[in-house]
Structure 1
Amino acid sequence: MPTQQPITPPPQQVPPPPPLPPQQRRKGTGIRPWLVVSASGNSHLEAVGKHLIMRRTGLPARDLRILDPGLSYPSTILSRERAIVVNLEHIKAIITATEVLVLNSKDPWVVPFVRDLECRVSNLNEGLQNRSDATAEESLRFLRSRHSSQLFRRSTSESPEAEMLQSNGSGSPEDTGDMQIKGAPKALPFELRVLEVCFQSVCMSLEAETSTLEQEAYPALDELISKTSTHNLQRARHIKSRLVALFGRVQKVRDELENLLDDDVDMAEMYLTDKVFNLQVEEDMSKDIQEKDTNSFELDGESDEDSENNKSSSGRVTGFKPNVEELEMLLEAYFAQIGGTLNKLSALREYVDDTEDYINIMLDDKQNQLLQMGVLLSTATLLINASIVVVALFGMNIKISLYNSAYAQFWETALGEIGHGQPKLGTVPAELEETKQNLQNARKEGMTMSNCLSSLREELDKTKRELQKMKAKEAWK
């Protein structure tokens, strides 16, 4: 008999999953809008990533972290091989020999700086071109003299006369290598002009904040001196907190300028245009030297070595020293300006400290007055208590009419309480009436107190005995 196979239900059709929403492409990490201002004065926005900035400017990643808006870094100026990193207050920029990259260009504090920067850079082109031509001529003359000195040294290296000439420093053009190139115009290069705009913007911003704080602080402190209240103290506390924060910011900018003035190497590193230009000139001269000296294998090899050494150097010709006096004068001017702002804040800080001392003196005076009042009240209380004690002591011999009433009133009250405590005794016996009558008679006859008391004791004894007899009779019944 064939076995019946179980009938399997048809598979249910599962609906396909809904399509996933299109995912937006994630932006590259570290991409931020930078305002790029070229040396010609043109400006445009670029969304540039961190790695592209590093390749473009030759800066390491740790230097770019200083410009991160999400991190809090103090005011800093870093001079690197191909760029200058500026982090001064609201200005975060990277300066190269041909352009400047500004971060947060839409910030209301940065907009005036960008406008001034574009205006200054556009007026720089003509003067910078003249300076470059003059510097090029001097650099070519210097390199030719350097090359001729090398040829002279190699050709006469075996003669003692050459050694004497080299040791005395005469008869060889080598000593021209230690001289600075003179005759160049005084126009600042692009990077120093941008630094000047940065310093000017920062100094003006700090000066404006200082003036605003002075206009608010002095009237508030004067009002606090005239009237010490909670509201005035709160205003003074807020002003002091703002003063401390602003003082620290100004002090940091001043310290940064002072560090630059003390380090000639950092100032020389800031001449990016001269470094790039001299590197170009030296490369051109190296090519010319190689073409002219192809007949001499030894000379050709030495020129190749010189070319390689120059390429691996920092972009400066050996013996070429930029004229840092221009940058030094620029830094000294803004150092003096920021020093004046710091002096204003120091004067305001001293005024705040003097106001605090005056308020503390006033509070101490009020506290002394309260202590004096407390001493007076304590003394008055002591005198009153002493008088009360004296009155109480002498008041024991004062006659009071309240105590001169009849003695019978006390005994009536006492016996009434006793009778109330014995409800079964019935009425008061006749002996009590007799006692009362005797007391009245004794008072009328003028008996002495001792006789009265003795008679009262006897009457009380009689009364007690009668009461005991009555209790015994009732108990017997």
Structure 2
Amino acid sequence: MAAAAGGEWAAVSASSAGEGTWRVEALGKQQLMRRTGLRVRDLRALLDPAAQLSHPTSVMGRDRAVVFNLHRVRAVITASEVLVPAPRDPSVAPLVGELHARLAAAAAAAAAAAASPPEEDGKALPFEFRALEVCLDFACPRDPAVAPLVAELHARLAATASPPEEDGKALPFEFRALEVCLEFACKSLDHETCMLEKEAYPALDALTSKVSTLNLEHVRQIKSRLVAISGGVHKVRDQLEHLLDDDADMVAMHLSEKLAFQAAVGQSSRFDTEEEPGEFDQQRDDDGDDDDQGEGSVPFSPKIDELEKLLEAYFVQIDGTLNKLSTLREYVDDTEDYINIMLDDKQNQLLQMGVVLSTATLMASCAIVVTAVFGINIHIALFRTTNTNIFWFANAGMLGGAAALFVVAIAYYRKNGILR
């Protein structure tokens, strides 16, 4: 735990000028607690491998930070920066790059919107007008003209692709960072699901056409991966559903509004560097008696519509991934049922072959019994004959009788449905 908490962290932030910055810092446990206001148990749930087994997924809102831990995406989100542990890990580096690019682009778009003159009616231009404006800028002939046009279209339209908020404000920093983390986790699960689908369906079809040890082992590995990915998707979906059902957790994630509210009412930070920080909601409940006895204070109750829409969008996305896995699981189950039917049919054929062989053995045993009777040391007239053809007649009679009995037995089996 000490090594994990004292390791390297990537601090990603976006300045007001629209220039995103990020750096690698070595932070200890106490430094993280003072910087983010988290408790020791929050850091354990984020960093300690043993705690991750008992709390594998969590999105916890605290007074000054949001602890994000979904599908190997770990981050601490504050109102001004995002802290990501182990940034040099190859699996974590893409997340840091995506956070830096997206947060910097959002800050640059906000800065450009603030610098540009407002429209007469206060509304942004429609999509088709913005596209027409870019095309008119490139109306003069150039060589080549297509590539710059496409690049400029992509740059401008991507910067203004998101619809304006109802109140005309952009999403807070913590919501943009939370969106990037959610998108990274959902895309990671969806990518794993797509890769599994590409590998699973051909392997299942090959097993259907030929049941072999190699194909069975391949399908077994695929089913193990399917169970693991399904478990991760279920955990993410359950966590998002829990957040959507709990308004208190969504209220706790409004870090920027919370800081503005505390500044407006003249409250200083509730955290003391010498003590362990507590949750905002718990402190508010603990201080409720004092507030009621005093002159009265306005409770912190932000609008959760924006965050609710954000969580619902990724809930629908992860639910679609879960539907893909459910379809694949059904296909696996259908293949297993088909293989079991094939194996049962083979087993029935073997049983029928065993009945045929047992009947043939019984008829041969009857002929052997006749031979044994003739081999008894007794005196009969047949033994004193000098005609050698009697030997062949006797053998032919025993074999013919055994064959006739065999045919009669097979006909009886078919008539009664024992053999097909």
TM-score (norm 2): 0.66
User: Are 2:69 and 1:87 aligned?
Assistant: yes
Q: 1:247 to 1:84 in 2, by over 3 A?
A: same
Q: Secondary structure at the match of 1:108?
A: coil
For structure 2, list consecutive stretches of 5 or more residues without a partner in the other structure.
115-164, 269-286, 387-420
After superposition, the CA RMSD in angstroms is: 3.1
CA contact (8 A) 1:128 1:189 kept: no
User: Are 2:42 and 1:63 aligned?
Assistant: yes
CA contact (8 A) 1:36 1:100 kept: yes
User: Are 2:217 and 1:259 aligned?
Assistant: no
Structure scoring higher RCO (CA < 8 A, sep ≥ 6) equals 2
User: Are 2:341 and 1:361 aligned?
Assistant: yes
CA contact (8 A) 1:124 1:190 kept: no
Deviations 1:380-402 (A, max 9, x none): 11111122213433555364479
Q: Tell me the amino acid that sits aligned with residue 36 of structure 1.
A: A
CA contact (8 A) 1:224 1:233 kept: yes
Q: 2:203 aligns with which of 220, 228, 231?
A: 220
Deviations 1:119-147 (A, max 9, x none): 22223447778999xxxxxxxxxxxxxxx
Q: 1:236 aligns with which of 208, 214, 219?
A: 219
C-alpha deviation, 1:58, in angstroms? 1.5
Map 1:81-160 → 2, pairs under 5 A: 81-125=63-107
Q: Tell me the amino acid that sits aligned with residue 326 of structure 2.
A: S
- In structure 2, the partner of 1:346 is 326
Q: Tell me the amino acid that sits aligned with residue 86 of structure 1.
A: F
Distance in 1 of aligned mates of 2:340 and 2:3: 59
CA contact (8 A) 1:127 1:187 kept: no
- In structure 2, the partner of 1:37 is 12
C-alpha deviation, 1:225, in angstroms? 0.2
- In structure 2, the partner of 1:382 is 362
CA contact (8 A) 2:208 2:339 kept: yes
Q: Tell me the amino acid that sits aligned with residue 12 of structure 2.
A: V
Q: Tell me the amino acid that sits aligned with residue 270 of structure 1.
A: M
Distance in 2 of aligned mates of 1:385 and 1:262: 78
Q: 1:83 to 1:129 in 2, by over 3 A?
A: farther
Q: Secondary structure at the match of 1:92?
A: strand
Map 1:193-204 → 2, pairs under 5 A: 193-204=176-187
Distance in 2 of aligned mates of 1:354 and 1:183: 48
Distance in 2 of aligned mates of 1:236 and 1:336: 29
Map 1:176-187 → 2, pairs under 5 A: 184-187=167-170
Q: 1:337 to 1:280 in 2, by over 3 A?
A: same
Deviations 1:312-338 (A, max 9, x none): 9xxxx7145212111111011000000
C-alpha deviation, 1:112, in angstroms? 2.0
C-alpha deviation, 1:34, in angstroms? 0.6
Provide the identity percentage. Answer: 53
Distance in 2 of aligned mates of 1:92 and 1:28: 16
C-alpha deviation, 1:213, in angstroms? 0.3
Distance in 1 of aligned mates of 2:256 and 2:355: 81
CA contact (8 A) 2:4 2:47 kept: no
Distance in 2 of aligned mates of 1:318 and 1:364: 72
Q: 1:274 to 1:128 in 2, by over 3 A?
A: farther
Distance in 1 of aligned mates of 2:291 and 2:103: 34
CA contact (8 A) 1:57 1:83 kept: yes
C-alpha deviation, 1:28, in angstroms? 7.8
C-alpha deviation, 1:51, in angstroms? 1.4
Distance in 1 of aligned mates of 2:254 and 2:112: 17
Q: Secondary structure at the match of 1:251?
A: helix
CA contact (8 A) 2:5 2:47 kept: no
Deviations 1:189-216 (A, max 9, x none): 0111100000110111111110100000
C-alpha deviation, 1:90, in angstroms? 2.3
Q: 1:214 to 1:68 in 2, by over 3 A?
A: same
Q: 2:258 aligns with which of 266, 275, 294?
A: 275
For structure 1, list consecutive stretches of 5 or more residues without a partner in the other structure.
1-26, 133-181, 286-304, 404-477
Q: Secondary structure at the match of 1:66?
A: helix
Distance in 1 of aligned mates of 2:78 and 2:383: 112
- In structure 1, the partner of 2:303 is 323
CA contact (8 A) 2:258 2:300 kept: no
Q: Tell me the amino acid that sits aligned with residue 83 of structure 2.
A: L
Distance in 2 of aligned mates of 1:236 and 1:279: 57
Q: Tell me the amino acid that sits aligned with residue 26 of structure 2.
A: A
C-alpha deviation, 1:39, in angstroms? 3.6
CA contact (8 A) 2:251 2:302 kept: yes
Q: Tell me the amino acid that sits aligned with residue 276 of structure 1.
A: L
Q: Secondary structure at the match of 2:12?
A: strand
Q: 1:261 to 1:131 in 2, by over 3 A?
A: farther
Q: 1:280 to 1:50 in 2, by over 3 A?
A: same
Distance in 1 of aligned mates of 2:13 and 2:211: 57
Q: Max radius of gyration: which structure?
A: 1
Distance in 2 of aligned mates of 1:392 and 1:69: 83
User: Are 2:335 and 1:334 aligned?
Assistant: no
Q: Secondary structure at the match of 1:283?
A: coil
Q: Report the number of matched residues.
A: 303
C-alpha deviation, 1:185, in angstroms? 2.5
Distance in 2 of aligned mates of 1:131 and 1:271: 23
C-alpha deviation, 1:251, in angstroms? 0.6
TM-score (norm 1): 0.59
CA contact (8 A) 1:131 1:185 kept: no
